[in-house]
Amino acid sequence: MSNIHGKAYALNTISPMQPWKTYILRLFFWFWGIYKPLGDGLKQLSFIHFARWVIVPRHGFPWLGEPQPKNDLRYDYLLFFSNFNGTWNQYIDAFSAVLYDGLNLIWRWSEKFPGSRPVTPFKNFIVRGQPETTYYYTAYPHATTNDVKAAHRVQAALQEFAKGSQGLPPDKFADAYLQFLMKVQGDLGETGEAPVGT
């Protein structure tokens, strides 16, 4: 299935919006870009590598001249792309449980958005606007977002330890090594194949 590569899932959703409503949504995104509550919320979830929202105005789908026919759309479109860890159901459930306020503010401008709670109509809405991913690539398929963040912490601690322990006598080295172990012990999970889920 092309939506999944290793531990990453590629979700796409596309939903129509009345053109006048997109100005309101742009204002929210502008605010969130400055004051960061949405980015902080996504960071706390810690299972999304990358995500983006793209508003395409009804005249904004690329037109490259003849012979391509011109689109004549009534709606602007909100495109959402996410690269997350876990299953589709886990992801939507977590979104609905934790970020429901933010989600409602983003999608309430889309036609027929039922709200992010209860979760079943919300899932139906997502499914309806979800084109399948045709090809999906990730440079580190066996690592989750948490694995990546933990690995960078280990890497920083290792370099600090290797530099700081140079020239120490064995006894002092062993003490410093113990301190290093205590520092990294929570970040030493093994990466590998993803478990099978739905």
Partner 1 sequence: MPNKSGTIYGLTILSPIKHEGHIDTSHSLAIRKYLHKLPADGRGPFGKVSSTHMARLVVLDDVEYFGMPSCEDHLKSRYLIFESNFDGELETYLNDLATKASEEVHGIWQHCIGYPGVQNVPAFIAYMKRCQVETTFYFADVNDKTVEQTLVALQRQSAVASFIEKNQGKPPAELHRAFGEFWARLQKAPPPKPGSTPGKEFTDKLL
Segment 52-111, which members bind partner 1 (CB under 8 A)?
52-56, 60-65, 67-75, 77, 79, 81, 83, 110-111
Angle at 77 between CA 73 and CA 82, to 5 degrees: 150
Of 24, 27, 97, 162, which one interacts with partner 1 (CB under 8 A)? 162
Q: Which of residues 12-41 bind partner 1 (CB under 8 A)?
A: 12, 14-16, 25-26, 29, 32-33, 38-39
Query: Angle, nearest 10°, between helix axes 37-45 and 19-35?
Result: 70
Q: Which is nearer to partner 1, 119 or 121 (CB)?
A: 121
Q: What SS3 state is found at 183?
A: helix
Of 59, 160, 181, 186, which one interacts with partner 1 (CB under 8 A)? 181
Asked if 90 and 197 count as a contact pair (C-beta separation under 8 A), the reply is yes
Asked if 61 and 68 count as a contact pair (C-beta separation under 8 A), the reply is no
Q: Which is nearer to partner 1, 15 or 96 (CB)?
A: 15
Residue 92: CB atoms within 10 A of its CB come to 19
Task: Please work out the total of residues on this chain that contact partner 1, with binding judged by CB under 8 A.
Answer: 92
x/- string (CB under 8 A) for partner 1, residues 132-161?
xxxxxxxxxxxx-x-xxxxxx-xx--x---
